[in-house]
Structure 1
Amino acid sequence: MSRPLSRWRDPLTALGLAAGPVVALGFTRFAYALLLPAMRGDLHWTYAQAGGMNTANAAGYVIGAGTAVLWARWIGDRAAFLGALAVSALVLLLTGTTADYPALSLLRFAGGVTTAVSFVLGSALAARIAAGGGHRRAASLVALYMAGVGVGVVLSGVLVPSVLADGGDAGWRAGWLTLGVVAVLAVVPALLALRRVPPVAVAAGSGLSRAALTGLAPGIAWYVLFGAGYVSYMTFVIALLREQGLGTSGTATFFVVLGLASVLATLFVWGRLIGRLPGGRAPALVSLLVLLGVLPVLLLPAGLPAALVSAAVFGSSFMAGPTAATVLARRALPPAGWTAGIALLTVAFSVGQAIGPLVSGVLSDSGGVAVGLWLSVGLLAAAGLVALFQRDTGPTAEPERPAGSPDRAAAAAVR
C-alpha cells in the first residue's frame, strides 16, 4: 500500500464505520423529531403518544445495547454490526408502510434493538482501530465515527422537509421510505470499512468485574441523566418551533445547522479535547454546553435567530456525550472489556432515553411543549454535577508514538 493511502487508512475506516450512526441515530432516532409534527397531525396523536413512540424505540435500544456483546460472541462483532445495520434499514422502510399505532410502536422498538447493536459494536470497532496508539488518537478516530450522527442529521434535515413540502402531513410515510432507501445505500461503505478492521473474538470472560462497575458508577449515572435530558429536547424541539410559528424551511434550516455544527465540532474540537480532559471533566463540560443549547428556544424571543443559536450550541456538543462515554470505557478497561463497557454505558444511556421523552410528553400535554423541555434543563444540570465524581480507574494512558511513526501519521490525518 502506498504511503499516502496508508496514512489515511485508519481515518477512512472510521468514516466507513460512521454509516452506523448515520442510520442508528441520524435517521432512526433524530429524524423522528422532523416527522413527528406531520405524524401527529395525520394520525391525531397526543404528545404522550408521540413520546411513547420514542420510549418504545428507547426500550428496544436498552435491549439491543444489553445484548450487543452476546451477538458479538455468537456471530462475530463485524457480522453483528453489519447485520444490525441492514435490519435497521429494513425497519425504516417498513415504518412508512403502516399507520397502525401498535405496529409503528413495534417497528420503533425493533429499530431501537438493531440500531443499538450496530452503534455499540461500531463504537467498539472504531475504538479498536487505534489499538496501540494513545488516548488522544483513539478519541480522534472515535470522533470521526461519531460524526456520522451529524451527517445523518444533515441528510434528514435536507430530505424530510422536502418530502413533507410535497405531501403535507400525509408525507410522513414517504419521509420514512426515503430515509430507508438511503440507509440501504449506507450499508456499502460500512461493509468496505469492516474489511480493514481485523476480527477479534469476544471471549466469555470479557465482561466487567465488580471493581470496574464501581469505578464506572458515576459515569453510568451521568449517562442516564444525560440521555434523558438531551433526547427530550431532540424529540420535541421541532414541535415547539412549529408552535412558535417556524415554517418548513425554518425547521429544515434548524436541523441542517444542528447537524453541521455536530459534524464540525465532533471532528475538530471534541476529538482533541476529550482525549485531554481527565476523569469526568469532559462529560461535565458536555452536559453544561448541551444545557446551554436548550435555553435559547425557551428564553429568547421566538423566531429563527433563537432557533439557530440553539441549533449551533446544542448541535456542537450533544454528540460529544457518546464520544466521551466511548473514551471513558477505553480508559477504564482493558481492550477485551471495551465492548462490554461501551454496551453497559449505552444501556444506561438508553434507560435515560426511554424515560425522558415519556415524562416530557406528559408534561407537554399538561402545560405545553416548553414545560416539557424545561425537564431537559434540570436533567442536564444534574448530569453535569454527577459527572464530576467520575475518576480515571483504569491503566494510565498509553504512551504516544514517536513523531514520524505510522500511528502518529494516522493521528495527524484526523487532526
Structure 2
Amino acid sequence: MTATAAMTSGRRTSEPLIALGLAAGPVVALGFTRFAYALLLPAMHDQLHWTFAAAGGMNTANAIGYILGAATSAWWARRLGGSAAFIWSLLISGVMLLATAVTGNYAALAAIRFVGGVSTAITFVVGSALAARIHTGNRRHRPAMLVAIYMAGVGIGIVLSGVVIPATIAGLGTAGWRFGWLAMGILAALALPPAIWAARRTPAPAVAAAGGHEKIRLGPLAPTFVWYVLFGAGYVSYMTFVIALLHSEGLHLGAQAAFFIVLGIASVIGTLTVWSRITGRLRQGHAPALVSVIVLIGVLPVLIWQGLAAALLSAIIFGATFMAGPTAATVLARRLLPAHNWTAGIALLTVAFSVGQAIGPLVSGLLSDTSGGITKGLWLSVILLGVAAVVALLQRDRPALPPAATTPPGAIANR
C-alpha cells in the first residue's frame, strides 16, 4: 500500500469518529437544551404555577433565539472559523443550561432560554456543515451516513436526559427541576473535549470560484423551506407537551422516564441504521415526505389510546424518525447547493425550521389551555405534519453539480 493510499484509508477510518465527536453538539443543542425541557416541564409547571401557554411561550423564546442564531451562524463561521464558532457556541450553551437552574423568574428564564437558543442554533448549524464536509471522496452514500452519525447525538442527549432528570425529580420532588438543569449543564461541560477534538479535524470549507462572492441561490430548495417550517412546528409541539400529557394521564415518573429513554434509543438506532441509508438514496422530496408521514403516525398512539403501551409505541415510531428531518434537509442542501454555500444554506433552512418551532409550541399551548386539554393541542402536530408531507413532494432535484464544485478540499485542517 502506498503512503497516499494508507493516508486515505486512515482518513476514512477516522471519519465516523470525527462525526461522533461532532455529535456532542446536537447532544447539548437539542438533546439537553430543547428536549430535556419536556421532562422538566411538569415540575416547573406545578411549582412555578404556569399555564400551558406560558410553558409553550418558554419554548417559543428559545425558538426565537434559535432563529437569530441560525440566521447569523454562517456569519459567525466566516468570522471565527467553523471550528471556533462550533466550540464557543457549545460552551455558551452549557453555561446557559447552568444558568437556567439559578432562577424561577419567568422573564429571566425566558431571557436565558433565548440566549441558549441563539448559541445552540449556531452549534447545530455549524456542526451540521462540519459533518457534511467530513467526507472528501466520491462515495455517494457516505456523506449521508456521516451526517446521520452527527444527528444521532440528539438521541444520545435524550437518553441521558431520560436517565438523569427523572432520577433527580424522584429524589427531590418538583423542586428538583433546578438540579435537573444543573445536571444538564455539567454533562454539557463533559461533552466539550470530544467536540473540540473533532471540530479541529474537519476539512476546511470550499471557497467560491472567481473572487469568492458568488450569490447563494436557494430557489431549488424552496419547497423544502416550506416543508421545514411545517415539520418544525409539528414535531416540536409533540416533543414539548407529550410528557405533560402522560403526566396528566397519571403515568408515574418511571413510566415517563421509560418513554423518554425508549424515544432516545429509537432515535439513535433509526437515524444510524435506517435513515442514513434512505436519505442518501431517495431523490427529490421523497425523503422529507416519508419522514413527515411516519412522524405523524408516531404521534397518533398517545392521542388515540392511553397507558404505557401506547406511549412506548409512540416513542418507538416517533423517536426512530423525527431526527431524519434535519438529516434529510442537510443532505438536500449538500446535494443541491455548491459546497461553499453549504453553511449558509443549512443555516437558512434551520431558520425556517426554527420559525416552525417558535410558532408550534405557543399555538399548541394555547389550544391545550382550552376545554380539549393537551390532547387537542397535540392534534395540531398531526395536521401540520400531514400538510408538510404534501408540500415536500413538490421538491425537485436539479442536475448534480460536478465533483469539483461539491467536494471540499480535505488536506487542510479547519482550526
Please say if residues 206 and 339 of structure 2, whose CA atoms lie closer than 8 Å, have aligned partners that are also in contact. no
Residue 392 of structure 1: how far off its partner (Å): 1.1
Corresponding position: 1:389 with 2:407: no
Deviations 1:341-373 (Å, cap 9, x if unpaired)?
100100000000000000000000012000000
Deviations 1:170-194 (Å, cap 9, x if unpaired)?
1000000000000011011001112
Question: Distance in 2 between the 1:201 and 1:317 partners?
Answer: 31
Deviations 1:35-85 (Å, cap 9, x if unpaired)?
000000110000000000000000000000000011011111110000000
Q: What is aligned with 2:282?
A: 277
Please say if residues 227 and 350 of structure 1, whose CA atoms lie closer than 8 Å, have aligned partners that are also in contact. yes
Alignment of 1:111-130 (within 5 A): 111-130=116-135
Residue 195 of structure 1: how far off its partner (Å): 2.2
Question: Distance in 1 between the 2:401 and 2:81 partners?
Answer: 29
Alignment of 1:155-234 (within 5 A): 155-200=160-205, 205=212, 208-209=215-216, 212-234=217-239
Corresponding position: 1:287 with 2:268: no
Question: Distance in 2 between the 1:207 and 1:298 partners?
Answer: 48
Unpaired runs of 5+ residues, structure 2, are 1-5, 405-409, 411-415
Q: What is aligned with 2:407?
A: none
Please say if residues 205 and 339 of structure 2, whose CA atoms lie closer than 8 Å, have aligned partners that are also in contact. no
Q: What is aligned with 2:363?
A: 359
2:240 counterpart (224, 235, 238): 235
Report the TM-score when normalising by structure 1. Answer: 0.93
Deviations 1:98-143 (Å, cap 9, x if unpaired)?
1110000000000000000010000000000013333411100000
Residue 5 of structure 1: how far off its partner (Å): 5.5
Deviations 1:147-170 (Å, cap 9, x if unpaired)?
000000000000000000011111
Alignment of 1:290-301 (within 5 A): 290-300=295-305
Alignment of 1:37-116 (within 5 A): 37-116=42-121
1:339 counterpart (321, 343, 363): 343
* Displacement over 6 Å in runs of 4+: 1-4, 201-204
Question: Distance in 2 between the 1:373 and 1:189 partners?
Answer: 37
Describe the shift of the 1:261–1:172 C-alpha distance in structure 2 as closer, same or farther (beyond 3 A): same
Q: What is aligned with 2:313?
A: 309
Corresponding position: 1:132 with 2:132: no
For these two proteins, the number of residue pairs brought into alignment is: 397
Please say if residues 134 and 398 of structure 1, whose CA atoms lie closer than 8 Å, have aligned partners that are also in contact. no
1:333 maps to a residue whose letter is L
Please say if residues 228 and 355 of structure 1, whose CA atoms lie closer than 8 Å, have aligned partners that are also in contact. yes
Describe the shift of the 1:70–1:387 C-alpha distance in structure 2 as closer, same or farther (beyond 3 A): same
Residue 206 of structure 1: how far off its partner (Å): 6.2
Question: Distance in 2 between the 1:207 and 1:371 partners?
Answer: 47
Question: Distance in 2 between the 1:208 and 1:96 partners?
Answer: 43
Q: What is aligned with 2:333?
A: 329
Residue 335 of structure 1: how far off its partner (Å): 0.5
Residue 398 of structure 1: how far off its partner (Å): 5.6
Residue 394 of structure 1: how far off its partner (Å): 5.2
Q: What is aligned with 1:349?
A: 353
Describe the shift of the 1:306–1:194 C-alpha distance in structure 2 as closer, same or farther (beyond 3 A): same
Please say if residues 19 and 186 of structure 1, whose CA atoms lie closer than 8 Å, have aligned partners that are also in contact. yes
SS at match of 2:284: coil
Report the TM-score when normalising by structure 2. Answer: 0.93
Question: Distance in 1 between the 2:333 and 2:146 partners?
Answer: 15
Corresponding position: 1:257 with 2:252: no
Unpaired runs of 5+ residues, structure 1, are 400-406, 408-415
Q: What is aligned with 2:3?
A: none
Deviations 1:304-329 (Å, cap 9, x if unpaired)?
00000000000000000000000000
2:39 maps to a residue whose letter is L
Describe the shift of the 1:364–1:188 C-alpha distance in structure 2 as closer, same or farther (beyond 3 A): same
Corresponding position: 1:154 with 2:181: no
Question: Distance in 2 between the 1:330 and 1:317 partners?
Answer: 20
Q: What is aligned with 1:413?
A: none
SS at match of 2:201: coil
Please say if residues 232 and 356 of structure 1, whose CA atoms lie closer than 8 Å, have aligned partners that are also in contact. yes
Please say if residues 333 and 346 of structure 2, whose CA atoms lie closer than 8 Å, have aligned partners that are also in contact. yes
SS at match of 1:98: coil
Residue 200 of structure 1: how far off its partner (Å): 3.2
Please say if residues 205 and 340 of structure 2, whose CA atoms lie closer than 8 Å, have aligned partners that are also in contact. no
Please say if residues 280 and 391 of structure 1, whose CA atoms lie closer than 8 Å, have aligned partners that are also in contact. yes
Question: Distance in 2 between the 1:239 and 1:168 partners?
Answer: 16
Q: What is aligned with 1:403?
A: none
What fraction of aligned residue pairs are identical, expressed as a percent?
A: 63
Question: Distance in 2 between the 1:6 and 1:278 partners?
Answer: 28
Please say if residues 338 and 401 of structure 2, whose CA atoms lie closer than 8 Å, have aligned partners that are also in contact. no
Describe the shift of the 1:201–1:91 C-alpha distance in structure 2 as closer, same or farther (beyond 3 A): farther
- Cα RMSD over matched residues? 1.8
Question: Distance in 1 between the 2:10 and 2:166 partners?
Answer: 38
Please say if residues 135 and 331 of structure 1, whose CA atoms lie closer than 8 Å, have aligned partners that are also in contact. no
